[in-house]
Amino acid sequence: MVLFAFGVALVSGILFGLAPALRSTRVDIVSSLKDSAQNLRGSEGRLQSGRLLLTFQTALSVLLVATAGLFAGSLFHLLTVDYGFDPENVSLIAVDTGKLPGTPAAIANLYARILERANGLPGVKAASLAWHVPLTFPGGSGPIQVPGKPDLPRHENDTFINWVGPRFFDAMGTRLLSGREFNEGDRDAAESVGIISQLAAHRFFAGENPIGRHVVLHGKLIRIVGVAQNMKYQSLRENDAPELYIPYTQYAGHSRVTSSGLPSLTFILKTSPGAPSPTPVFRALLHKLAPDVPLGMTYTMEQQVDNSVGRERLMASLSSFFGILGLLLTSIGLYGILAYTVTRRTGEIGIRMALGAGRSHVIWLMLRGAIGYIFAGIAVGITAVLAVSHVVVSLLYGMQPNDPGNLTAVIIVLLGVTALAAFLPSLRASRVDPAVALRQE
């Protein structure tokens, strides 16, 4: 990679330095010794290629900065979307009970003992567990029917199913809109109960109170005891989907719905702000109560959110880097052209100032030659943004490729940067001493 970068840099330097180098070999000695006024006209022609390159740099900067703005805006919208849960101070600890002998009810009792002790760990405000943790993998789903109502099409009644423990919504920071959470009384021998999401309540019980009503999942009658806030499960980009939560302690009664054994669950520990990680003390607790159960992955919900936007964060970082690089190249190009112009026109500037031209007039004289090329580059860049917008539309969230706010911000940033780059050599031109300039002539 280093050798490749060195080779590209060397070839680029040679290719882009070749044109002015060849041009310098064709200098007319007689005309070069003539008065500077004629040289000025010749230098203007030689600057034309540089100004055209400046237009191209400006257009490229517009395209890069606009792309950076789109990806940064998408990342911002993803990070500020309503997740349906509070990721702060939430630790996730997976355990593997897949090889434990025993019935689902026996393994559920083991989980209950661990969960009871976990709620008493130092710094833990609420402890629960779940089969599927948000933003991990889709999990299971099934068609939901409501007794006494016509069945909805499969794509409308297909609902995410999750097996959770008591205080699950408290631990996740998800609002319970009505009804109650699961409790220790929701066991296999009791009536099957469930909690549905707000979207599921609207879809299956539009305009009605779902508390106390029943739904049917694969022939199993489930009484609704609560309605919870919608939660993002597959990704932050997804549209809200209907969800049904069932107590893991009633898993055995749903053996026809899922596999025969209770799956491994993940513990969810909500800690107080500033509290140390509960993982070490939980590991000790697990080793004491279930030494044969290995500890799986341990991470936080905030890490899970960050991982879920990894692609968007990478795209925003890379595009921002190249956008800044494009602005830098445009600024350097503009500064170089104006600095060269000031050097070539020092005599002219001295004559103008000797005849009464003010500093503002000299500054405008230097700027007006570049302003047209800058605006031409902006126009070409915006056209390019609109032309290639369809390429990135699938990568955006909450942003449109032709977003007027983003394009306006790009123009303002570009004009601000180029104004600063152009002002420095123009200011130097306005400080030329007429006497010194005429003496050089």
Please choose, from the candidates 224, 227, 246, the residue with its C-alpha nearest in 3D space to the C-alpha of residue 178: 227
212 and 101 belong to one structural domain: yes
Task: Give tens-digit pLDDT for 120-131.
Answer: 999 999 999 999
Give the pLDDT band of residue 227 (cuts 50, 70, 90). Answer: very high
Name the domain boundary from 293, 324, 342: 293
Q: Is the pLDDT of residue 44 over 70?
A: no
More confident: 81 or 50: 81
Q: What's the pLDDT score for residue 259?
A: 47
Residue with tokens 């109170």: 209
Q: What's the pLDDT score for residue 436?
A: 61
Q: Which amino acid is at 51?
A: R
289 and 341 belong to one structural domain: no
Among 97-111, 233-247, 267-281, 326-340, name the most confident range.
267-281
Check if the beta carbon of residue 166 is closer than 8 Å to that of residue 223.
Answer: no
107 and 71 belong to one structural domain: no
Span 199-228, mean pLDDT?
90
Integer Cα distance of 302 and 91 in angstroms:
9
3-state secondary structure labels for all residues of 26-52: CCCHHHHCCCHHHHHHHHHHHHHHHHH
Integer Cα distance of 134 and 160 in angstroms:
12
201 and 252 belong to one structural domain: yes
Span 244-265, mean pLDDT?
73
Check if the beta carbon of residue 87 is closer than 8 Å to that of residue 302.
Answer: yes
335 and 283 belong to one structural domain: no
Give the pLDDT band of residue 344 (cuts 50, 70, 90). Answer: confident
For the CA atoms of 407, 410, 411, 412, what is the dihedral angle to 10 degrees? Answer: 120
Task: Give tens-digit pLDDT for 65-74.
Answer: 999 999 999 9
209 and 323 belong to one structural domain: no
Q: What's the pLDDT score for residue 253?
A: 63
Integer Cα distance of 316 and 314 in angstroms:
5
Half-sphere exposure of 100 (CA within 13 A, CB side): 24
- Beta strands in 275-384, from DSSP E residues, in sequence order: 295-300
Span 346-362, mean pLDDT?
73
Asked whether residue 92 is assigned to any structural domain, the reply reads no
130 and 275 belong to one structural domain: yes
Check if the beta carbon of residue 151 is closer than 8 Å to that of residue 215.
Answer: no
- Provide the domain count of the chain: 2
250 and 314 belong to one structural domain: no
Q: What's the pLDDT score for residue 440?
A: 58
Half-sphere exposure of 348 (CA within 13 A, CB side): 17
Asked whether residue 91 is assigned to any structural domain, the reply reads no
Q: What's the pLDDT score for residue 257?
A: 47
213 and 362 belong to one structural domain: no
Task: Give tens-digit pLDDT for 74-107.
Answer: 999 988 888 889 999 999 999 988 777 777 778 8
Q: Is the pLDDT of residue 255 over 60?
A: no
Q: Is the pLDDT of residue 363 over 80?
A: no
Sequence-separated (6 or more) residues with CB below 8 Å from residue 163:
130, 131, 245, 246, 247, 248, 251, 263, 265
Asked whether residue 390 is assigned to any structural domain, the reply reads yes
Check if the beta carbon of residue 62 is closer than 8 Å to that of residue 414.
Answer: yes
More confident: 244 or 356: 244
More confident: 432 or 441: 432
Name the domain boundary from 293, 320, 347: 293
Backbone φ and ψ of 289, nearest 5°: -85, -35
Q: What's the pLDDT score for residue 31?
A: 58
More confident: 197 or 239: 197
214 and 135 belong to one structural domain: yes
Domain of 245 in residue numbering reads as 97-293
Q: What's the pLDDT score for residue 11?
A: 93
Report how far Cα 263 is from the mean position of its chain's Cα atoms.
33
Asked whether residue 167 is assigned to any structural domain, the reply reads yes
63 and 123 belong to one structural domain: no
Asked whether residue 369 is assigned to any structural domain, the reply reads yes
Neighbouring CB atoms inside 10 A of 289's CB total: 14
Q: Is the pLDDT of residue 288 over 50?
A: yes
322 and 282 belong to one structural domain: no
Half-sphere exposure of 124 (CA within 13 A, CB side): 24
More confident: 389 or 225: 225
Asked whether residue 431 is assigned to any structural domain, the reply reads yes
Mean pLDDT of the chain: 84
| Lowest pLDDT segment from 12-21, 80-89, 92-101, 350-359 | 350-359
Asked whether residue 112 is assigned to any structural domain, the reply reads yes
Give the pLDDT band of residue 254 (cuts 50, 70, 90). Answer: low
Give the pLDDT band of residue 38 (cuts 50, 70, 90). Answer: very low
Give the pLDDT band of residue 252 (cuts 50, 70, 90). Answer: low
Give the pLDDT band of residue 269 (cuts 50, 70, 90). Answer: very high
Asked whether residue 368 is assigned to any structural domain, the reply reads yes
More confident: 153 or 183: 183
Q: What percent of the chain has pLDDT over 70?
A: 89
Task: Give tens-digit pLDDT for 392-423.
Answer: 888 888 888 888 889 999 999 988 888 888 87
